[in-house]
Structure 1
Amino acid sequence: MALLRMAVAAVVLLDLAIRSTDLEAHYTNLGVLPLYVLFERAWNPYEFSVHTSSGLWQVQALLFLTAAGCAVGLLLGWRTRLMTVLSWMLLVSVQNRNPMIVQGGDDLLRMLLFWGIFLPWGRVWAKDAQDQPPPARYEYFSAATVAYVVQLALVYVCTAALKSGPEWRTEGTALYYALSLDQLLMPGGRLLYPHYELLRALTHLTFYMELLLPVLLFIPVATPVWRLVFVAAIFGFHTIISLTLFVGLFFLINFASVLGLLPASALSWLERRLGPPLRRAWGYRPRLPTWQWPWQLRVQADWHPAARAHRHFRLLPALRDTVLYVLLAYTIWWNLDGIARPDYALREPLRWFGYLFRTDQHWGMFAPTVFKDDGWYILEGRTRDGRLLDLYRGGRPVTYRKPYSIMALHKNDRWRKYSENYLFVSNSWMRPYYCNYLLRLWQENPRNPRLKQLEVVYMKEVSLPRYRTEPVKREVLCGCAP
């Protein structure tokens, strides 16, 4: 649990660092989604966000620094529960500020912090445990540990269940089409892409792995061994994904998510190697038993005064566990909505809790099928003397030839996700704000030639079976002028 806490905190810090590079673009009124547009087009009235309190970059910077401070506190295990709550609130807030750049990994990171509020992940390897003797026992069982394990299972079972297209179930062409998306293709994917039959076999392997691997989490015999197999499989699975497809922080979030499952034997091995730095950092050496159930960690109630809040928190464990089981049932119901029969759908009047506390989640990665529409952007700026410059490539002359690496054109995965949402007809309202934002940035630089017009052009290329594509079509998505 301590490793889980530290890994989640580290991912939150990395996420904040990446987001901060687009502070103005994604979170202020001068960017692609001003506050009045957010509230008019993409806001859920049940949601909350302190990041919507101002459209100034200075306020956003202060909120980002606050979130980073809370994440550092969580990493060190200082006032762990408070830092967990604050980190969760600020993460929900920043995600709600710009939903057009949110991806599946954000849901998992959010849920890890949510269930972490109720986990004792600050009991060891934490400042809160400094100068305290190790717990008498490490076995711990509660609704929170059940919720954590079930949440991990839901991620993979639901994404497999949602993959209902023939590309996944019968044809086995899903990975072929996924690697045909040049905006996602990584160098490892280029090596796999020419092997059509291998991709078919890997497609079926991926589907059944996602569907059946979570069974390992619930085997009651030799549980630590099966959990270790699950962790190793997840690390291998997401390592391959990260080498073949551009998925941002998704693979790191999944790495962090399974660390709470590591058996005590693995932690004993780690502690023997990290013991000296841990003692220097926290003044405490956690002596782990050689064997235990991975989701068990019993914590004594006679804690150091710094952890007094936790003792009071456990005064009504039965009531707490009851509430958590209800929340878990609600989460399962939300996940099954859309998979099960419509008679069992989660009706709108019951959805307010999921929206408010952001326990809403959807694991439709490449589901029900894989997009076949691919392409690349050209930001076609026409100068006053008639030249055509591509702002997407630093103002070079426009060329309609396909770039070698379309993925490399995206600054980060947030912009890639934004460009994906930008294409949908239902999101056409996004287009003028993006166009005007780009035009303003260009015109503010006195070294750039003045533009008469800017057009956002998409070169659409539809993938067909067996390495064929439809002819590339030039589509003008939006235009703007000074």
Structure 2
Amino acid sequence: MVPGRDTALLPSARAALRRRLGIDARALAAFRIAVGSLLVVDLLYRSRNLGVFYTDGGVLPRAASAELYPTLSALSIHGLSGAAWLQWLLFAVGGTLAVLLTVGYRTRITAAGSWVLLASLQFRNYVVLNGGDTVLLVALFLALFLPLGERWSLDAVADRREGRPRSRVAGFASAALLSQVTLIYATNAVFKLRSDAWTNGTAVRYVFAVDRFTVRFGDLLAEVPALLVAVNWTWLAMLVASPLLVVATGRARTALVAAFGTAHLGMWLTMDLGLFPHAMVACLLLFVPPSVWDRTERAVAPVERSLRARVGNSPFVHSGPLLPLGVRDVAARLAPAVTATVLVVGLLWQGVAVGYVAAPAETPVDPAEHSWKLFAPHPPTADGWFVVTGGLSSGATVDLYLHANTSDGPPADSAATYPTTRWRKYLTEVRRDPLVRRYFADYLCRWGEDRYGERVETVDIEYVTESVRFEGPTPTERRRLGRYRCPVVD
């Protein structure tokens, strides 16, 4: 070993790691804008079912949430009251913070506040969440340790410090954030490689044969089997190659980011996956290399100059910190330890989930049940819909399903019986969990009385499963989930 050569290798290795695990400050700004916008849109969509999903008069009162998830529900600010007024107030505060995060005003405070309210909202009703919600929550948490307001923000406009802002940020926080995104793809690749359906090219055909997932152009794509097989193999190959998102640099990384971004756009155009494709695109922005942001910056430079001229001296735009210096110093010292812990735990968690690392004895949560399977190893092979009937005090039997009349026969499109992604996730839990089903029946007792103007005595819940067949008739199976007398929950 040559000491001089070994010493020279250290800066080179450090530079290589910084180039791959660091994040351009402009990428952080784009990520901030995307996440803030997503939070606003998410709140608007959730508000359409605010009373149903987040109040005691809905399908999951606080008592049910506490019974299902005692630890998480206890951490929810939204769970302090079952009244609608508190939910509307917190939605308004969350929306305001999200807008401020988008424009980059008091970025650290608004990002932290946005994360707290997002976590609180998710913990209030855990059964309506999907993978996109988890991506958003984890990514925003890790981003709290990064300078989201360094560029393209009101904070940057008001900053009077001398010298140029940081062009790149590298450390445990950036490594943890990039690795978490890459692990989503890589873990899913492992599960899919263990699947006969994915490795023989039929998995995507099964997914698109299930009506409750297909939207927009999905039905058209479902009519082209050869194209679905090609999509199957292409997506599987991309997932296997996903670690290159971290390894590659320059044009190769740009091409990979573009490929994954295009894939998520395709998901949004054809499938109902909630926030997942949007959250992943927001995270992919973090991988975009400096050469792309250089061109972007030249394009937005006139806007930035105009903004500085208009609001740079405004008394409403302040660059001074709100937190005391002592608090900021403690936070700065703790940040590397926290992010390093998250980095290691994240890697170990996924290692346990795929079976490469042994789980500690008496682990309270099974990582395999909370991992990135995403239609793997077994894609859905059956569609289905609910049939709910109610017995009124007058003796009449009526349809009690909220979203479509399914008591007279199969719906023309089973997707129409699941109006939103969150309703579909919730109704999936209604099928699986007897406790969730009891509270659903109790809600239908009250909903039916309002709809028909007389007391509902009984609620019968059934689920019809329709097996996917590429050729020939599609068999159905009707399963009784329970009969309930109203009120179901005293």
TM, length-normalised to structure 2: 0.82
% same residue: 28
Is 1:108 paired with 2:135?
yes
Is 1:415 paired with 2:435?
no
SS at the partner of 1:305?
A: coil
C-alpha deviation, 1:127, in angstroms: 1.6
- The correspondence for 2:261, drawn from 235, 258, 263, is 235
C-alpha deviation, 1:409, in angstroms: 2.9
Q: Conserved in 2, the CA contact under 8 Å of 1:109 and 1:253?
A: yes
SS at the partner of 2:410?
A: coil
Q: Conserved in 1, the CA contact under 8 Å of 2:76 and 2:121?
A: yes
C-alpha deviation, 1:361, in angstroms: 5.5
Q: Conserved in 2, the CA contact under 8 Å of 1:378 and 1:391?
A: yes
C-alpha deviation, 1:4, in angstroms: 0.5
- The correspondence for 1:455, drawn from 451, 460, 467, is 460
Q: Conserved in 2, the CA contact under 8 Å of 1:239 and 1:251?
A: yes
Q: Conserved in 1, the CA contact under 8 Å of 2:97 and 2:110?
A: yes
Change (3 A) 1:281 1:346: farther
| Corresponding residue pairs, total | 450
Residue matched to 2:208? 179
- The correspondence for 1:430, drawn from 430, 436, 442, is 436
Q: Conserved in 2, the CA contact under 8 Å of 1:382 and 1:389?
A: no
Residue matched to 1:167? 196
Residue matched to 1:263? 289
- The correspondence for 1:377, drawn from 361, 386, 399, is 386
Change (3 A) 1:83 1:137: closer
Residue matched to 2:359? 345
Change (3 A) 1:422 1:227: same
Change (3 A) 1:98 1:347: farther
> Structure 1, unaligned stretches of length 5 or more?
287-302, 355-359
Is 1:13 paired with 2:34?
no
Over residues 109-158 of structure 1, what are the superposed CA-to-partner deviations in whole Å (9 max), with x where a residue is unaligned? Answer: 01111111111110111121224367255133221111121111111001
Change (3 A) 1:116 1:479: same
Is 1:247 paired with 2:273?
yes
Q: Conserved in 2, the CA contact under 8 Å of 1:333 and 1:346?
A: no
1:52-91 to structure 2, matched below 5 A, reads 52-91=79-118
Is 1:440 paired with 2:446?
yes
Is 1:275 paired with 2:336?
no
C-alpha deviation, 1:434, in angstroms: 0.8
Q: 449-458 or 8-17: which moved more?
A: 449-458
Matches of 1:2 and 1:136, distance apart in 2: 12
C-alpha deviation, 1:305, in angstroms: 2.6
C-alpha deviation, 1:90, in angstroms: 1.2
C-alpha deviation, 1:334, in angstroms: 1.1
- The correspondence for 1:210, drawn from 239, 243, 256, is 239
Matches of 2:165 and 2:275, distance apart in 1: 37
SS at the partner of 2:461?
A: strand
Q: Conserved in 2, the CA contact under 8 Å of 1:163 and 1:367?
A: yes
SS at the partner of 1:213?
A: coil
SS at the partner of 1:44?
A: helix
C-alpha deviation, 1:71, in angstroms: 1.2
TM, length-normalised to structure 1: 0.84
SS at the partner of 1:55?
A: coil
SS at the partner of 1:251?
A: helix
Over residues 295-340 of structure 1, what are the superposed CA-to-partner deviations in whole Å (9 max), with x where a residue is unaligned? Answer: xxxxxxxx95348879974788676324422220111111221212
Change (3 A) 1:45 1:76: closer
Matches of 1:117 and 1:393, distance apart in 2: 40
Matches of 1:43 and 1:333, distance apart in 2: 26
- The correspondence for 1:324, drawn from 331, 335, 339, is 339
Matches of 1:310 and 1:123, distance apart in 2: 19
Residue matched to 1:125? 152
Residue matched to 1:392? 402
Over residues 1-36 of structure 1, what are the superposed CA-to-partner deviations in whole Å (9 max), with x where a residue is unaligned? Answer: 111001101111111111122112111211111112
Matches of 1:195 and 1:392, distance apart in 2: 33
Change (3 A) 1:118 1:371: same
Matches of 2:92 and 2:361, distance apart in 1: 38
Residue matched to 1:479? 483
Question: Aligned AA for 2:382?
Answer: D
Matches of 2:177 and 2:165, distance apart in 1: 23
Residue matched to 1:97? 124
Over residues 37-72 of structure 1, what are the superposed CA-to-partner deviations in whole Å (9 max), with x where a residue is unaligned? Answer: 222223336962112212111122222222112212
SS at the partner of 1:461?
A: strand
Matches of 1:350 and 1:124, distance apart in 2: 42
Q: Conserved in 1, the CA contact under 8 Å of 2:391 and 2:459?
A: yes
Matches of 2:116 and 2:331, distance apart in 1: 24
C-alpha deviation, 1:104, in angstroms: 0.6
Q: Conserved in 1, the CA contact under 8 Å of 2:139 and 2:283?
A: yes
Q: Conserved in 1, the CA contact under 8 Å of 2:387 and 2:406?
A: no
Matches of 1:113 and 1:332, distance apart in 2: 18
C-alpha deviation, 1:81, in angstroms: 0.9
Matches of 1:206 and 1:327, distance apart in 2: 28
SS at the partner of 2:300?
A: helix
* CA RMSD across the alignment: 3.1
SS at the partner of 2:70?
A: coil
Change (3 A) 1:481 1:2: same
Question: Aligned AA for 1:38?
Answer: S
Question: Aligned AA for 1:419?
Answer: L
SS at the partner of 1:172?
A: coil
> Structure 2, unaligned stretches of length 5 or more?
1-27, 313-317
Question: Aligned AA for 2:119?
Answer: V
Over residues 63-89 of structure 1, what are the superposed CA-to-partner deviations in whole Å (9 max), with x where a residue is unaligned? Answer: 222211221221121111111111111
C-alpha deviation, 1:274, in angstroms: 3.2
Q: 154-163 or 435-444: which moved more?
A: 435-444
Change (3 A) 1:388 1:316: closer
